[in-house]
Amino acid sequence: MFQKIEHIGIAVKSLESAIPKYEQLLGTSCYKTETVETEGVHTAFFKVGESKIELLASVSEDGVIARYIEKKGEGIHHIAYAVEDIHSEMNRLKDEGFILLSEEPKPGADQKWVCFVHPKSTGGVLVELCMDRDE
Ligand code: ZN
């Protein structure tokens, strides 16, 4: 079951300039920064009610986020939904014909298991499923 929008991922050129901007915008402090080496991203998180904003900056000049910004500019990169059981949702979506970007959930930022769904199969929006990793 999809439970809520867990976070919205926003691609930015640099966290150093984006973090203070989002702190001003949201009126709240960034509560966590984390680098996910396997995905090549630096992340920064903000709480907005029961959802979050995740800023994503590329670790390297040819990383996925850097290439995304080159093509589309800074802005919304993905929508992440919290799911109760990531394996069963992955199977359900696969059966429905959605294209998953990994066969198995991967460890993501903020203590989550994550799986991405190709935007080609969702009408242009990169979708992330995520489930808490701490149990
Ligand atoms: Zn995300």
Q: What is the pLDDT of residue 38?
A: 86
pLDDT in tens, 17-64: 999 999 999 999 999 999 998 889 999 999 999 999 999 999 999 999
Q: Give the distance (Å) from ligand 1 centre to CA of residue 128.
A: 6
Q: What SS3 string covers 46-98?
A: EEECCEEEEEEEECCCCCHHHHHHHHHCCEEEEEEEEECCHHHHHHHHHHCCC
Q: Cβ neighbours of residue 83 under 8 Å, at least 6 residues apart?
A: 1, 2, 3, 89, 129, 130, 131
Backbone dihedral angles phi then psi of residue 61, each to the nearest 5 degrees: -70, -20
Q: Give the distance (Å) from ligand 1 centre to CA of residue 80.
A: 6
Q: What is the pLDDT of residue 24?
A: 98
Residue 135: pLDDT over 70? no
Cα–Cα nearest to 53, from 29, 17, 84: 29
Distance in angstroms (rounded) separating the CA atoms of residues 52 and 65:
19
Backbone dihedral angles phi then psi of residue 25, each to the nearest 5 degrees: -60, -50
Confidence (pTM): 0.93
pLDDT in tens, 73-128: 999 999 999 999 999 999 999 999 999 999 999 999 889 999 999 999 999 999 99
Q: Give the distance (Å) from ligand 1 centre to CA of residue 95.
A: 23
Q: Give the distance (Å) from ligand 1 centre to CA of residue 96.
A: 22
Q: Give the distance (Å) from ligand 1 centre to CA of residue 129.
A: 8
Confirm if 107 and 115 have CB atoms less than 8 A apart.
Answer: no
Distance in angstroms (rounded) separating the CA atoms of residues 65 and 77:
9
Q: What is the pLDDT of residue 134?
A: 75
Q: Predicted confidence band at 15 (pLDDT cuts at 50, 70, 90)?
A: very high
